[in-house]
A = this chain, B = another copy of it.
Amino acid sequence: MVRETSLELLMSRPVQERADAARNREKVLAAAARLFAEKGVDAVSMDAVAAEAGVGKGTLFRRFGDKAGLAVALLDDRERDLQQRILSGPPPLGPGAPARERLVAFVRAYLDFLFAHLDLVRMSETASPGARYRIGSYWFWHRHVAILLAQSRGGDADVLAHTLLAAMQAELADVLQTEYGRDRTLTALTTLATTLT
Contacts and interface: CB of A to CB of B under 8 A. Distances in A.
Interface of A: 1, 42, 122, 126, 129-130, 132-133, 156, 158-160, 162-163, 166-167, 169, 171-172, 174-176, 179-180, 184-185, 187-189, 191-192, 195-196
24 contacts: A122-B129, A126-B126, A130-B174, A133-B171, A133-B172, A133-B175, A156-B184, A156-B187, A156-B188, A158-B180, A159-B184, A159-B188, A160-B188, A160-B192, A162-B175, A163-B163, A163-B166, A163-B167, A166-B166, A166-B167, A166-B169, A166-B172, A195-B195, A195-B196
A20 B11 CA distance: 58
A103 to B, nearest CB: 14
A114 to B, nearest CB: 14
A129 B159 contact: no
The count of identical subunits is 2
Contacts of A132: 171
A129 B172 CA distance: 11
Those 8 A-B pairs whose CB atoms lie nearest each other, nearest first: A163-B167, A159-B188, A166-B166, A156-B188, A166-B167, A133-B175, A166-B172, A195-B195
